[in-house]
Structure 1
Amino acid sequence: MLVAFLIMFREGVEAALIVGIIAAYLGRTGRAAWLPAVWVGVLLAVALSLFAGAALQLASAEFPQRMQELFEAALGAVAVVVLMSMVIWMRRAARSVRGTLEGGVERAFASAGATWALIGTTFLAVAREGLEAVFFLLALFQQSPGPSVPLSALAGLAVAAVAGVGLYRGSVRLDLARFFRWTGVLVIVVAAGLAATVLRSLHEAGIWNHLQQTAWDLGRLLPVSSVPGAILSGLFGYHDRPAVGEVMLWAAVLIPSLWLFLRPQDEPRSGRRAVH
């Protein structure tokens, strides 16, 4: 599934940048011997993400049908918030992420338990990316059961890991500003589609029964069961017979979010350029 691949690739690149910045700073300041603590923090963050995902997936399997629909709606709503916060955070923090991480490393070494503090700094930074990925993937699992989503996600992470190593060693050149800009647009479109799906799940659970008139019917022209329809559904949450409420919510999420995300940012008064 292309969406799972692309978003996990983005998440993986973000995590790789975080680890790369910390590792490079340790090497630059003569503290390369502390790198094992960084990897411990990474492994703990990965373990937490896997545990959280497995626990939520196992819990949802025991729900009756109505509770299953409510769980899908709640999970989708969380995924929308997580995806939107991800792109907004990266847009705002891109200029200062290196300084923030390096400052966290310095505070870790200034504390009494430097090893645990460094582990904690890495753990918190990477766990954020991991938990974002978990909620998004669980929302996709509810919509598309089967091996395609996890396999695509693993492929995205694998490519991101290779790209991260290349970025760290300088063998891969990537315009990070453009990369995060265009993947951010994709994330917003996906989040809008998920929001519409949340409303559909609430209707199926009997919670939301308003604005259920059909906005348009493309069942003959572009049915969801067709290959193009299935691709659009997987990418953007397309539905051939959406309800009016779903279209309204989709537009309410998509239009202002794209405007806020794509509008030019003011340069910092200090005149310093972004550091990626």
Structure 2
Amino acid sequence: MLIPFLIMLREGLEAALIVGIIATYLHQTQRQAWMPAVWTGIFLAVALALLVGAGLQFASAEFPQRQQELFEAVVGLLAVGMLTWMVLWMRRAAAGMKRDLTSALDHAFSGRSHTWALIGMVFLAVAREGLESIFFLLAVFQQSTSSAAPLGALLGIAVAVIAGLAIYRGSLRLPLGHFFRATGVFILLVAAGLLAGSVRALHEAGLWNHAQQVVFDLSNVLPLDTPLGSLFAGIFGYQPAPTLSEVVAYLGYLLIALWLLRPRRETHTAATAGSQG
């Protein structure tokens, strides 16, 4: 329940921030009459995400066992890629998001098809977050047996909508930079577990049979049927007896992802050298 809640909260806040910036810009430029186009874009994006999610879920139910394992692996790999891209994109784009969006809106209103341009902007922004969420939730639901996961996802969306409205109205000031950095690290840990689970699913589908020796076995110390073992499995993809390929995938992904997410130190060497020259 915790993972879907946090992921959907973060995804929802990202979408709410983008829509909030667009709505604020329209209000400040006396273009409130274009708000129906914003809502149209949101509706179309949500409909697309739900349609894709339902289609994938129904299709996977018809697969034989081996194909289901392969489908689980593919969805898990897509979720890992999308989650990683989401974290890194927000880290790079957060600072200039408002400037870029307002510039794009100015460009949209400089043409003739204002309505379609605005609908397209909102649709693409929200659809991206929605499709990322769909693939993530499919991966989580397939690798977790918890019946509370859908409830957590719905709660995350609800809190994100409320927080987005509060931010838009100016009644809430969240330290969004700290929030996205903290949740970014958490999401990378979740993605590492999904990647290890995808490697396991590829093996069960008969497509990956390398490095299958068990690295360690904690079945007697922390079995999966205990509350703590179940919690770790649901959040971090914990397995009491992981294979070498799963451990390498988990740790290798974390090392690379955390290196990409590392804080970049701003130096003034170039500026100093320029002033001295």
Q: Aligned partners of 1:177 and 1:265: how far apart in 2?
A: 16
Moved more, 125-134 or 253-262: 253-262
Equivalent residue number for residue 237 of structure 1: 237
Give the equivalent residue in structure 2 for 1:141: 141
- Could you tell me which residue of structure 2 aligns to residue 55 of structure 1? 55
- Counterpart for residue 167 of structure 1: 167
Paired position in structure 1 for 2:273: none
Distance 1:167 1:73 in 2: 38
Aligned residue in 2 for 1:71: 71
Q: Distance in 2 between matches of 1:249 and 1:38?
A: 41
Q: Which residue of 2 aligns with 1:89?
A: 89
Matches within 5 A, 1:94-243: 94-145=94-145, 147-243=147-243
Determine if the alignment matches structure 1 residue 40 to structure 2 residue 40: yes
| 1:193-246 C-alpha deviation (Å, 9 max, x unpaired) | 111001000111111111111111110111111100000011010111100110
Alpha-carbon displacement from aligned partner over 1:18-74 (angstroms, at most 9, x marks no partner): 110000001111111111111110111100000010010111000000000000000
For 1:273, the equivalent position in structure 2 comes to none
CA drift of 1:265 comes to 5.3
Q: Give the whole-Å Cα distance in 1 for the aligned partners of 2:10 and 2:43.
A: 19
**Residue number in structure 2 paired with 1:264:** 264
Distance 1:240 1:145 in 2: 17
Distance 2:50 2:103 in 1: 28
Q: Which has the larger radius of gyration?
A: 2
Aligned length: 270
CA–CA distance in structure 1, aligned partners of residues 163 and 266 of structure 2: 30
CA-CA distance at 1:7 after TM superposition? 0.5
**For the structure 1 residues 18 and 265, does the alpha-carbon distance in structure 2 shift closer, same or farther, using more than 3 Å as the test?**
farther
The one-letter amino acid of 2:196's match is A
Q: Report the Cα distance in structure 2 between the residues aligned to 1:188 and 1:106, rounded to whole angstroms.
A: 35
Identity of aligned pairs, percent?
56
Residues 95-148 of structure 1, C-alpha deviations (whole Å, 9 max, x = no match): 111112112211221122111111011111111101100000011111124642
- Bigger drift between 255-264 and 152-161 goes to 255-264
Unaligned runs of 5+ in 1: 270-276
Q: Deviations over 1:165-185 (max 9, x none)?
A: 111111111001000000000
* Root-mean-square deviation over aligned CA pairs: 1.6
Q: Structure 2: how far apart are the matches of 1:170 and 1:255?
A: 39
TM-score, normalisation: structure 1 = 0.95
Question: Structure 2: which 5+ runs fail to align?
Answer: 271-277
| Residue of structure 2 equivalent to 1:26 | 26
C-alpha separation between the residues in 2 aligned to 1:94 and 1:244? Answer: 37
- AA paired with 2:28? R
Check conservation: 2:80, 2:192, Cα contact below 8 A: yes
Letter aligned with residue 8 of structure 2:
M
SS of the residue corresponding to residue 241 of structure 1 reads coil
2:213 is paired with a residue of what secondary structure?
coil
How far apart, in 2, do the equivalents of 1:161 and 1:47 lie? 17
Partner Cα distance (1:174, 1:142) in 2? 33
Match of 2:8 in 1: 8
Give the structure 2 partner of residue 272 of structure 1: none
The DSSP-based 3-state class of the residue aligned with 1:9 is: helix
Aligned AA for 1:39? W
AA at the equivalent of 1:109:
F
